[in-house]
Chain A
Amino acid sequence: KQEVTQIPAALSVPEGENLVLNCSFTDSAIYNLQWFRQDPGKGLTSLLLIQSSQREQTSGRLNASLDKSSGRSTLYIAASQPGDSATYLCAVRPGAGNNRKLIWGLGTSLAVNP
């Protein structure tokens, strides 16, 4: 059974720091992995999606890496800003074919302090 774990559960950093959020999954047979951001009281915003054949994806100050064999993904945020404060969720789509159900981590709650 696929399980997704995110560490740390919460993180507080001063503005300007570079930081890394971790996501691990127990079954390496994944189709893709997606990082989302959730602001309080709001829905989820997709940040980056990495296909199983890819090693990393970049968007602006965000970089997500994927190491399928070790069951790990990291989300790197460069030069953090107070506006980055949110909960970051990692979700895995298992296997290939038509199984589109995502398996979710519990998230990392990030606070960037001015």
Chain B
Amino acid sequence: GAGVSQSPSNKVTEKGKDVELRCDPISGHTALYWYRQSLGQGLEFLIYFQGNSAPDKSGLPSDRFSAERTGGSVSTLTIQRTQQEDSAVYLCASSPPSGRNEQYFGPGTRLTVT
């Protein structure tokens, strides 16, 4: 079946602009995660959605970052007033309702802020 998809695959934007990154999880997966991977650093948790529960936003680095998940499926990560330090690969993952929490990743969006 179809895996996790993300769009765009690459995004170049000017400092100060807003960007939206999209994630389509695997159908039937109730949990959705956003991570950031900066050059030379490990994956950084950003936000986690589980069903209809309030999202865990504890990893968002500033109030310029926000995310929504509409209808329990597609998610959008929005970065306002982008800064150069926001340049990274943004990865989305989803996992099924089972307790194992095995996460399936999309290919990521490479964001470059100039």
The answer to whether the Cβ of A102 comes within 8 Å of any Cβ in the partner chain is yes
Do A43 and B102 form a contact, CB below 8 Å, given A101-B56, A106-B42? Answer: no
Using a CB-CB cutoff of 8 Å, which residues 43-57 of chain B contact chain A? 43, 45, 48, 50, 56
Tell me which of B43, B102, B106 contacts A89 (CB under 8 A): B43
Are A49 and B43 in contact (CB-based, < 8 A)? no
Residues of B close to A42: CB separation below 8 A: 107-108
Residues of A close to B50: CB separation below 8 A: 98, 100
Residues of B within 8 A of A (CB): 4, 6, 31, 33, 41-43, 45, 48, 50, 56, 58-59, 91, 93, 95, 100-108, 110
Closest to A98 in B: B50
Are A43 and B42 in contact (CB-based, < 8 A)? no
What distance in Å separates the Cβ of A84 from its nearest Cβ neighbour in chain B? 19
Are B100 and A32 in contact (CB-based, < 8 A)? yes
A51–B100 Cα distance when bound, in Å, is 8
CB-based closest 8 A-B pairs: A43-B105, A44-B105, A43-B107, A104-B43, A104-B42, A106-B42, A101-B45, A49-B102
